[in-house]
Amino acid sequence: MVELYAAFTVLSMDNGTRDAIVITLAGILSHLVWYVVKHSWKACFGSSETQTPHSDVRNSKLDNGERESEATASKLKHNEPSKAVPNTSPREKLRSALHEFINGLPELERSELRNVGRENKRQLEDLFKERDDALKQRDQYSKNYDDACKDRDDARKQRDEAYTDRDDARKQLDQAYRDRDSALQQLDGAHKIQDDLRESKLEAAENYKAMSDNLWDKTERKIYQSKQRYDERLRKAMDQTAAIKAASLEGKCANCSGIRIGDRSITTGGSYLTAALYKVMNTAEISQDEEVYENLQQLRDKARQEIGAVVDRSYGLYSLMLTLDGNVERNNTLGVKGFQGLTEFTDYIGAALDHLVER
């Protein structure tokens, strides 16, 4: 019954407050039961007056009924449009029955019950305060929990954003790898083309080198033949020079004709020397043999010097002609055909120089 009363009267709260209220109501109900038992005992055994149980309650009910009728009349006086509708809910019935029972008690017991009620009310208020404090703490904990959940949600949101950024970075990295692979493929294609061009160039260079070597071999062969020809000319010139020097030292020459001066014959060295001697003989008077021999020796020395100068210049001319022939031949190898006339001119100069040296 106590629990049923608590279920109808006490608001929902935590377990500690509910237990305290249930205990308080149980104490009140135990006092009521003790009072009922005591008066029942008095009514049955301790008093000669015949009265039914709860007669005091009925009397008090009558008094309370009068008071309630007065209160109801005053209420109806203030609220005339509304009609009094009796409460038929179990909770209201239980509450009205409890009030009737309490009003039927003596004043001392009612004062005790009031004191107990005040104490219980004070305890109940303390419990309500504790409940409110607990609710405040619960609200604070709930707020802290909500803040923690919000922080957790923010952290998850930041984590998701970081995951998104990481995925975007990975996508960009993959795209960069694909671009790099494409660039490497293009570079490989360019390297392949470059290798093909290099191979073609090497092959063309080898072919050109073979053709060039063949042409240069022919050119060098011709130059070598020309050099041999000019070497033969130089050798003949050197032989002629040596023969002239030997003959001049001996005082004779193979092509010299003798000139008789007085009772002696004088050997001259060639047409140039003979002309010089004739000039000397025609211009000078030969009185003594020593003077004639001295003049003749001077003429021989002069002729030898002039012949040596001619031969030396022939050497230089032969060398220039050899260089010119080599350059003309190389130009012919390279396809330059504008120097063909120089070959004929050098041949003509070489033949004239050979004839001069032989003379």
More reliable by pLDDT, 258 or 44: 44
Report how far apart, in Å, the C-alpha atoms of 20 and of each of 11, 27, 116, 123, 268 are: 13, 11, 14, 9, 173
Given a cut of 50, is residue 258 above it in pLDDT? no
Tokens of 209: 């080198």
CA neighbor of 355 nearest in space, from 242, 270, 236, 238: 236
DSSP 8-state class, residue 258: E
Given a cut of 80, is residue 178 above it in pLDDT? yes
Show Cβ contacts of residue 130 under 8 Å, excluding neighbours closer than 6 positions: 16, 17
- Band of the pLDDT at 311, cuts 50, 70, 90? low
Q: Where are the domains of the chain?
A: 2-151, 219-358
Q: What count of other Cβ atoms lies within 10 Å of the Cβ of residue 138?
A: 13
Tokens of 142: 């709930």
**Burial call 190-229: b when 16+ CB within 10 Å, e when fewer:** eeeeeeeeeeeeeeeeeeeeeeeeeeeeebbebbeebeeb
Given a cut of 80, is residue 336 above it in pLDDT? no
Q: What is the pLDDT of residues 275-298, one digit of tens each?
A: 444 444 444 444 445 676 777 777
DSSP 8-state class, residue 284: S
More reliable by pLDDT, 62 or 201: 201
Average pLDDT, integer, range 37-45: 75
DSSP 8-state class, residue 267: E
Show Cβ contacts of residue 101 under 8 Å, excluding neighbours closer than 6 positions: 32, 57
pLDDT (0 to 100) of residue 154: 94
Given a cut of 50, is residue 78 above it in pLDDT? no
pLDDT (0 to 100) of residue 101: 78
Q: What is the pLDDT of residues 115-174, one digit of tens each?
A: 887 888 888 888 888 889 988 998 998 999 999 999 999 999 999 999 999 999 999 999
Distance CA 217, CA 206 (A): 16
The answer to whether the CB of 22 falls within 8 A of the CB of 5 is: no
The pLDDT > 70 percentage for the chain reads: 48
pLDDT (0 to 100) of residue 155: 94
Distance CA 234, CA 241 (A): 10
Of the ranges 27-31, 325-329, 340-344, which is most confident? 27-31
Q: What is the pLDDT of residues 88-118, one digit of tens each?
A: 677 788 778 877 877 777 778 778 877 887 8
CA neighbor of 126 nearest in space, from 30, 24, 28, 29: 24
pLDDT (0 to 100) of residue 120: 83
Helix, strand or coil for residue 319? helix
Distance CA 313, CA 243 (A): 18
Q: What count of other Cβ atoms lies within 10 Å of the Cβ of residue 350?
A: 19
Given a cut of 70, is residue 199 above it in pLDDT? yes
pLDDT (0 to 100) of residue 157: 93
- Band of the pLDDT at 255, cuts 50, 70, 90? very low
pLDDT (0 to 100) of residue 91: 76
User: CA 21 from chain center: how many Å?
Assistant: 75
Average pLDDT, integer, range 249-262: 46
Tokens of 76: 């109806």
| Number of continuous H segments (helices) and E segments (strands) in the chain | 8, 2
- Band of the pLDDT at 269, cuts 50, 70, 90? very low
DSSP assignments along 99-111, one per residue: HHHHHTS-HHHHH
Predicted TM-score (pTM) of this structure = 0.28
Helix, strand or coil for residue 50? coil
Q: How many residues does the chain have?
A: 359
pLDDT (0 to 100) of residue 344: 65
Long-range contacts, stretch 342-346, CB < 8 angstroms, 24+ apart: 346/321
Cβ-based burial of 300 (10 A; exposed 0-12, middle 13-18, buried ≥19)? buried
pLDDT (0 to 100) of residue 282: 47
Tell me the pLDDT of the chain averaged across its residues.
Answer: 69
Distance CA 102, CA 60 (A): 9
More reliable by pLDDT, 20 or 268: 20
- Band of the pLDDT at 352, cuts 50, 70, 90? low
CA neighbor of 292 nearest in space, from 269, 313, 322, 267: 267
Strand partners, 199: none
Average pLDDT, integer, range 207-236: 70
